[in-house]
Structure 1
Amino acid sequence: MNRILPLMVLILSSWSVSAAEQAPWGRAEAQEYDYQPQKVVYDVAVSSSGEFEQILDRASYLSQVYNADPFAASIVLVLHGDEISFFGIKNYLKYKDLVTRARSLTVGDVIEIRMCRIAARGHGFEPKDIHGFVQMVPMADAEIIRLQNEEGYAYMQ
């Protein structure tokens, strides 16, 4: 027993030194803020459904943080990348779950999805080929600039 006690003390003291060595600046503290609803535009150009799911997650969570208040918050996703094909009517069955989720996020009038008509054409789509809940805009860059400069939207990528 006399030998075990010093060994236990040595093990416990080395563990605490090791923990301090792993966190030399201490540990983070969680901050709490009450975020006021804002107007936000996401510049979206992704190449996979997984990346687009992450954008939807971020926009959905931001909407929740803003209490999904359609009078004070506005979140606009401006699409101009490979994600355009997800919204093609001919691709509905392939991307049904993703498109259904995107559509559901637009129901409360906080989140809108806008698509660059030039980029859509580049992917072989015209407005008649895209689901009706998506708004077609002439050009993504011009729309993002307009939302920032004329309507006071914050830019997110």
Structure 2
Amino acid sequence: MLRSLAILFAGLLLSSAVLAEVPPKRFDVKPKHSGSFDAPGVVAAELDEQGYLARIDLNSPSDVESALLRAESWFRSGKLASGQPPLAFVIHGPEVAIFFRENYEKYRPIVDLAAKLSAFEVVNVRVCESSTSDLGHAVGHLQPFVDTVPFGPAEIERLVNEEKYLYF
């Protein structure tokens, strides 16, 4: 277990060294939108300091991975404004299992990408405590970079309605 964490940490350090050598491109124009970004290939200007929430509709590991890859693409292309809050990922339902420590080997590419983006403060992964419990686990079984919320759907509603987050 410690060896796996050491390898993950070394990978994060190497990734940061590579990314540090490639300065992000910035755009001067603010985006013209009032809704959500659904397409990963959206040609957009630098995003303002608006909060964004990952759209995860299929409750599947591949849907979570697709959203993480979109976030990574935005980060690498320089579309994220400095000072912008991390992109929110609120995970509830069966896909919570992705982030159980015991499932690391099964979901390694997804977990490693989420950990890397979390370390760079590109994303903030929040997992539903209710779903965690429904799957027979305690929050202590989650990966260390994952935050929790009492009830995922309520957190999504709060972010969209009160904090005015937009889906991406």
TM-score range, shorter chain: 0.5 to 0.7
Indicate whether 1:100 and 2:120 are aligned.
Answer: no
| Equivalent-residue separation in structure 2 for 1:98 and 1:36 (angstroms) | 24
Indicate whether 1:126 and 2:138 are aligned.
Answer: yes
Q: Gaps spanning 5+ residues in structure 2: where?
A: 1-41
* Structure-2 change in CA distance of 1:110 and 1:32 (3 Å): closer
Please, what TM-score do these two structures have when normalized by structure 2? 0.64
Give the aligned partner of residue 3 of structure 1: none
| Equivalent-residue separation in structure 2 for 1:147 and 1:69 (angstroms) | 19
Q: Is the 8 A contact 2:47 2:79 kept in 1?
A: no
Give the aligned partner of residue 114 of structure 1: 126
Displacement of 1:92 after TM fit?
1.7
Q: How many residues align?
A: 126
Q: How does 1:1-157 map to 2 (within 5 A)?
A: 33-37=44-48, 38-44=50-56, 46-65=58-77, 67-156=79-168
Displacement of 1:69 after TM fit?
3.7
Q: Gaps spanning 5+ residues in structure 1: where?
A: 1-30
Larger radius of gyration: 1
Could you report, residue by residue, the CA deviation over 1:52-73 in whole angstroms, capped at 9, with x for unpaired residues? 2212112222334554445124
Displacement of 1:130 after TM fit?
0.5
- The residue matched to 1:44 in structure 2 has which SS? coil
- Partner amino acid, structure 1, of 2:161: N
- Partner amino acid, structure 1, of 2:87: I
